[in-house]
Amino acid sequence: MKSVYDDLHDVVELPADVRRVVSIVPSLTESIAATHPEKIVGATDWCTHPADLDVVRVRGTKNPDVERIRELVPDVVVANAEENRAVDLDTLRRSGIAVWVTAPATVPESLDSLDRMLSAIIGDEPPWLSQARAVWSSPYDGMRRRAVIPIWRRPWMALGRDTFAGDLLSRIGIDNVFGESGERYPRFAPDALPEYDVVVLPDEPYAFSPDDGPEAFAKPARWVSGRHLTWYGPSLVEARELLTGQLA
């Protein structure tokens, strides 16, 4: 056994050779499966990448099937402090299952977090992680714009302070108008917004589309890939170029 620390600085006891992983975060599922798919034995219904992933499904991030996870006898469950409920993670721990929790709020933190997790589970840094570091190593030096970034409708909610997606957008010249909000996901009214230049509409968690969302705003709206905006993993390799193009 080896003792390692997750993003919450909790000690996680892992076998020297981790062979069975249950992931209850889509981006972490993709991060492990991109190089070692054989290690993933269970994942959520929302774990859509890679597309050919054939594993036992354990429901969603907010309502994982804890009993089904127990039956899979994982060496570790990988989770996220925001996406998953503490009560579910505590239940797994009480069952004697190791739980690794990630909690990055910036792009650099996500890369370091993935490095620690993958080093503990896989033992080496996958090529895509090195590529992602290179992609995000250069600063943005172009024109900046102010944006509203809705994440939900009915009620309207947007990205607020200290979010991974907000930090990512800032690195391609998009400043969040709610970045100094007292809340991470403040509610807002489309007709009572701070001054802004553009609306960024991701297709998840709410499935905004060119026909569902832009009509509520007076300024131009851009529909973007939610996976590239909110996931941290292999998607970061192409996220900078893709989102820059979508927000042009």
pLDDT in tens, 127-172: 999 999 999 999 999 999 999 999 999 999 999 999 999 999 999 9
DSSP letter string, 99-133: EEEE---SHHHHHHHHHHHHHHHTSS--HHHHHHH
Q: Above 90 in pLDDT, residue 239?
A: yes
- In the chain the domains, ranked by start, together with CATH numbers, are 2-109 (3.40.50.1980), 145-246 (3.40.50.1980)
Indicate the pLDDT class of residue 194, thresholds 50, 70 and 90.
very high
Closest by CA position to 175, among listed 189, 191, 194, 188: 194
Q: Above 90 in pLDDT, residue 28?
A: yes
pLDDT at residue 88 in the model? 98
At residue 198's C-alpha, the angle toward residues 136 and 236, to 5°, is 20
Give the Cα separation of 118 and 106 in Å (integer): 18
Residues 227-248, mean pLDDT to the nearest whole number: 97
Indicate the pLDDT class of residue 204, thresholds 50, 70 and 90.
very high
Give this prediction's pTM: 0.94
Residue 143 backbone zone (phi > 0: left; psi -120 to 50: alpha; other: beta): beta
Percentage of residues in the chain having pLDDT higher than 90: 98
Q: Above 90 in pLDDT, residue 89?
A: yes
- What is the pLDDT of the chain when averaged over all its residues? 97
Give the DSSP letter of residue 207: -
pLDDT at residue 23 in the model? 98
Residues 46-71, mean pLDDT to the nearest whole number: 97
Give the Cα separation of 38 and 228 in Å (integer): 24
pLDDT at residue 213 in the model? 97
pLDDT at residue 125 in the model? 87
Q: Above 90 in pLDDT, residue 124?
A: no
| Cα separation values, 203 from 26, 35, 48, 107, Å | 15, 26, 14, 20
